[in-house]
Amino acid sequence: MNTKNLINNRWVDSPSARTFENRNPADTDDVIGAFPKSDENDVDAAVLAARAAFNAWRLTPAPARGEIIRRAGDLLAVRKDDIAHAMTREMGKTLTETRGDVQEGIDTAYYAASEGRRLFGFNAPSELPDKMNLSFREPVGVWGVITAWNFPIAVPSWKILPALVAGNTVVFKPSEESPHSANLFAECLLEAGLPAGALNIIHGKGEECGAALVAHPGVNGIAFTGSTEVGKHISAMASQTLKRVSLELGGKNAQIVMDDADRQLALEGVLWGAFGTTGQRCTATSRLILHEKIYDEFINKLITRATTLKLGDGTKPATDVGPVITEKQLERIERYVRLGKEEGAVCVLGGDRETNGACARGWFYKPTIFIDVLPTMRIAREEIFGPVLSVLRASSLEEAVAMLNGTMYGLSASIYTRDINMAMKAVREIESGIVYVNGPTIGAEAHMPFGGVKQTGNGHREGGWTVFDIFTEWKTVYIDYSGKLQKAQIDTEK
Ligand code: UN1
Per-residue pLDDT band for 490 (boundaries 50, 70, 90) equals confident
CA of 446 to the centre of ligand 1 (A): 10
Q: Which of 103, 151, 460 to mutate to test ligand 1, by most ligand atoms within 8 A of the CB atom?
A: 151
pLDDT band at 403 (very low <50, low <70, confident <90, very high): very high
User: Is residue 444, in this structure, part of any structural domain at all?
Assistant: no
Q: Are 344 and 392 found together in one domain?
A: yes
89 CA to middle of ligand 1, Å? 19
Q: Are 404 and 290 in contact (CB under 8 A)?
A: no
Tell me if 87 CB under 6 Å of ligand 1: no
pLDDT band at 189 (very low <50, low <70, confident <90, very high): very high
* % of the chain surpassing 70 pLDDT: 100
In-domain check, residue 450 = no
- Enter the pTM of the model: 0.97
Torsion of CA 312, 381, 294, 277, to 10 degrees: -20
Q: Residue 370 sits in a domain of what CATH number?
A: 3.40.309.10
Asked whether residue 485 is domain-assigned, the answer is no
Backbone angles phi, psi at 417, to 5 degrees: -160, 155
Structural domain that includes position 306: 253-437
**Centroid of ligand 1 to alpha carbon of 155 (angstroms):** 8
Q: Does one domain contain both 152 and 267?
A: no
Average pLDDT over the chain, rounded to an integer: 97
Residues 44 and 189 in one domain: yes
Residue 385 maps to a domain = yes
> Ligand 1 pocket: which of 99, 282, 414, 441 to mutate (most atoms <8 Å of CB)?
282
Ligand 1 contact via 444 beta carbon (within 6 Å):
yes
pLDDT digit string (tens) for 266-313? 999 999 999 999 999 999 999 999 999 999 999 999 999 999 999 999
pLDDT band at 493 (very low <50, low <70, confident <90, very high): confident
Number of domains composing the chain? 2
pLDDT in tens, 450-482: 999 999 999 999 999 999 999 999 999 999 999
Looking at ligand 1, which atom is closest to the CA of residue 282? 2
Q: Is 283 in the pocket of ligand 1 (CB under 6 A)?
A: yes
Query: Does the structure show a pLDDT above 80 at 26?
Result: yes
Q: What is the mean pLDDT of residues 177-194?
A: 98
Residue 234: band (very low, low, confident or very high) from pLDDT cuts 50, 70, 90: very high
- Determine the pLDDT at residue 409: 98
Same domain? For 233 and 306 the reply is no
202-226 tens-digit pLDDT:
999 999 999 999 999 999 999 999 9
402's CB contacts (< 8 A; 6+ apart) are: none
Report the pLDDT averaged over residues 251-258: 98
CA angle 127, 131, 134 (to 5 degrees): 90
245 and 257, same domain (yes or no): no
Query: Mean pLDDT, to the nearest integer, of 414-431?
Result: 98
For 378-394, write each residue's pLDDT tens digit: 999 999 999 999 999 99
Catalytic sites, residue numbers: 248, 282
| pLDDT tens sequence across 338-365 | 999 999 999 999 999 999 998 999 999 9
What pLDDT does residue 288 have?
A: 99
155 in ligand 1 pocket by Cβ < 6 Å? Answer: yes
Confirm whether 285 is domain-assigned.
Answer: yes
Contact 93 CB / ligand 1 (< 6 Å): no
Ligand 1 atom nearest residue 434's Cα: 4
Shortest-distance Cα residue to atom 11 of ligand 1? 442
Residue 449 within a domain? no
- For residue 449 and ligand 1, the question of a CB distance below 6 A is answered with no
In a domain, 179, yes or no: yes
Give the separation between CA 79 and CA 87, rounded to whole angstroms.
12
| Cβ burial 158-174 (10 Å sphere, 16+ → b, else e) | bbbbbbbbbbbbbbbbb
Residue 494: its pLDDT value, please?
73
The reported pLDDT for the residue numbered 177 is 98
* Mean pLDDT, residues 84-89 taken together: 98
User: What was the pLDDT predicted at 381?
Assistant: 98
7 Cβ closer than 6 Å to some ligand 1 atom: no
pLDDT at 489: 80
- Residue 492 in any domain: the answer is no
Query: Does 282 sit in the ligand 1 pocket, CB within 6 Å?
Result: yes
Per-residue pLDDT, 488 = 87
